[in-house]
Amino acid sequence: MDKLKRKSEAETFARALSELAPAFGLVLNEGVIQTLTEHYTLLLKWNPKIDLTAVVDPVEAAQFHYLESLYATKHLVPQAQTVVDIGSGAGFPGLPLAVSKPNLSVALIESQARKATFLRVAVHHLGLSNLSVFHGRFQGYKPRDFNVVLCRALDRFAALLPSILQFGGDSQQVLLFAGEELAERCFALAGNLWQVECIPIPLSNQRFLVSLVPTRST
């Protein structure tokens, strides 16, 4: 019964991806939809064990997790090549970006061991050669060859924001998913070091993509 239910949810999810994508200005090919649906199915299987997300309804998941993540592709700096995703959790936003942009090299940073294990299983299951997983806190991530930092959700997000900006200080963009308060905090911290753009996320209520580009790059 569980398998039949998951199959039905996967079909609803794939349909929702296709139908809602235009609202985000996105066109998804069948390969991307199929791979994201495989990830969603894997998420459904693992979620009861390790509580990856509270949002599992197929339509809501398609909109809030996957399409919001993919919306970031429209606002990456043109020179984006190597991306790190801080606090990736179930893989958002980094995994959908890696699926839709195979030219990007994406590292998923996750401090919780069980979620990092899920991410490694997902990367292997989906065969994503441009995706890697780092288990640990972002402060302990030593490679500095990335040029974009992403973060969608993080415990104590506002308190950690100065550390995130410091971490991304040598990058060409920090791109954050934020509510109104966090967006205001970004403007307050930017000073003359960052150029800040606040972009409303389609179909959301006061949620934004906040793009911070160092002024030395502008």
Structure confidence at residue 217 (pLDDT): 64
Here the tokens at position 89 are 């959790």
Structure confidence at residue 218 (pLDDT): 58
Three-class DSSP labels, 156-207: CHHHHHHHHHHHCCCCCEEEEEEEHHHHHHHHHHHCCCEEEEEEECCCCCCE
Structure confidence at residue 93 (pLDDT): 97
| CA of residue 192 relative to chain centroid, distance | 27
2-217: CATH architecture? 3-Layer(aba) Sandwich (3.40)
d(CA 150, CA 174): 6
Structure confidence at residue 18 (pLDDT): 97
**Any bridge partners for residue 177, and if so which?**
209
Structure confidence at residue 154 (pLDDT): 84
List the pLDDT tens digit at each of the 218 positions of the chain: 477 777 889 999 999 999 999 999 999 999 999 999 999 999 999 999 898 998 889 999 999 999 999 999 999 999 999 999 999 999 999 999 999 999 999 999 999 999 999 999 999 999 999 999 999 999 999 988 899 999 998 888 889 999 999 999 999 999 999 999 999 999 999 989 999 999 999 999 889 999 999 997 65
For the chain, domain boundaries: 2-217
**pTM score of the predicted model:** 0.94
Orientation angle between helical segments 180-190 and 157-167, nearest 10 degrees: 40
